[in-house]
Amino acid sequence: MSEHKQKLIQAKVDSNIKGIIEVLLSLRVNALQISPELRKNLVYELIRNDVFLLTTRARNDFLLELIECAKLSQAVCHSLLSLLSVIVSTLKGVEYIVMNGPAAIH
């Protein structure tokens, strides 16, 4: 999980749209391949690893920058929204996004 996080950060820093898409889709595919009973654990792992850097000093800047990339690329938009939908499929995931990245939902 931390490897995916580092790849996502690096792709964002490099403005590598293909890299961003690849990481986001990989995380989503992993979530969908896991049985529904275990999916909650994957979401908790995404939150624990703070995949969108919402609990760091940057707060919601990273997620907002990804959303800006999504405005430029339909593929980024699709993959970002897909992963966000997986995260907010649990109460803990909703709290992660709402409490730490409220600007992202406006």
pTM: predicted TM-score of the whole model, two decimal places: 0.85
What share of residues in the chain are helix, strand, coil (percent, to 5)? 75, 0, 25
Would you give per-residue pLDDT tens digits along the chain (106 residues)?
Answer: 889 999 999 999 999 999 999 999 999 998 889 888 888 999 999 999 999 988 886 677 888 899 889 888 999 999 999 999 999 999 999 998 888 766 666 5
Distance CA 47, CA 90 (A): 11
Domain ranges in the chain? 2-105
